[in-house]
């Protein structure tokens, strides 16, 4: 049974909106996830990440006082973060390309635009399980490889600090 497959995951939902948390929780439960925690905003989420063994974070972006990007940066770079590689799915009403790039650059694994659907969330869930991306640390960035495919590349490699072709360390 597929439900049984997902029941061992512990998922943290972070959203300041009760209705949205309820919707995501319901979808995850229907998919078989049993251990679900909720955070009302980033600081609250950090306490949950410290207190429980979280395997996956599904977070909103716009929250007060600290937003979803602050949470992503904490997970990826803080020495207090229990897992800098923790998979993160960002759910947001932002659909503008510049915003998507900003979220990607902060270190998210998957981006999901609202409205939330069971199909979209399920797909992201399968993706983070089956197709995890490598992590890279070029210069100041640390997070999942922002390139989804490894393909021959003719232009300047911006992974290198000097813009020249970089070599893997």
Partner 1 sequence: MAKGTYEVITPPNKLKDLVGGVTQINDDLLAKAEAAAQVVIDTVDLSETTKPQIAALQQAVDAILQGAERAEHEKVIFAIMHDLRGEGANFGYPLVARIAASMNHYLDSAAPGERARNDPDVIRAHVDALRGVLANKLKGETGAIGAQIVGGLESISGLKG
CA–CA dist 54, 13 (Å, integer): 10
In whole angstroms, the minimum distance from the beta carbon of 47 to partner 1 comes to 21
Task: Give the residue with the Cβ less far from partner 1, 32 or 38.
Answer: 32
* Residue 23 near partner 1 by CB under 8 A: yes
* Dihedral sign for Cα atoms in the order 15, 106, 95, 89: negative
6 Cβ neighbours under 8 A, 6+ residues apart: 31, 32, 33, 125
Q: What span, in angstroms and rounded, lies between the C-alpha atoms of 26 and 13?
A: 11
One symbol per residue from 94 to 123: x for binding partner 1 (CB under 8 A), - otherwise; what is it?
x-------------------xxxxxx-xxx
- 59 touches partner 1 by CB under 8 A: no
Give the range of 12-20, 42-50, 74-82, 100-108 binding partner 1 by CB under 8 A. Answer: 12-20
Find out whether the peptide bond into 163 is cis, omega within 30 degrees of 0.
no
- Considering only CA atoms, which of 109, 113, 105, 107 is closest in space to residue 126? 109
List of residues contacting partner 1 (CB under 8 A):
2-3, 5-6, 8-9, 16-20, 22-23, 26-27, 29-32, 55-56, 62, 64, 85, 87, 92-94, 114-119, 121-123, 125-126, 128-130, 132, 134-139, 145, 159-162, 164-169
């Amino acid at each position: 049974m597929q439900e049984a497959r997902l029941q061992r995951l512990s998922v943290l939902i972070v959203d300041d909106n009760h209705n949205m948390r309820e919707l995501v929780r319901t979808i995850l439960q229907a998919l078989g996830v049993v251990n679900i925690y909720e955070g009302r905003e980033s600081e609250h989420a950090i306490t949950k990440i410290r207190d429980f063994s979280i395997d996956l974070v599904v977070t909103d972006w716009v929250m007060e006082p600290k937003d979803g990007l602050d949470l992503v940066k904490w997970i990826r770079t803080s020495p207090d973060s229990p897992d800098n590689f923790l998979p993160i799915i960002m759910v947001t009403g932002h659909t503008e390309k510049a915003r998507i790039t900003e979220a990607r650059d902060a270190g998210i694994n998957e981006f999901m635009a609202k409205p939330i659907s069971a199909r979209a969330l399920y797909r992201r869930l399968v993706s983070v399980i089956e197709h995890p991306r490598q992590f890279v640390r070029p210069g100041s960035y640390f997070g999942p490889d922002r390139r989804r495919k490894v393909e021959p590349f003719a232009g300047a490699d911006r992974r290198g600090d000097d813009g020249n072709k970089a070599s893997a360390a």
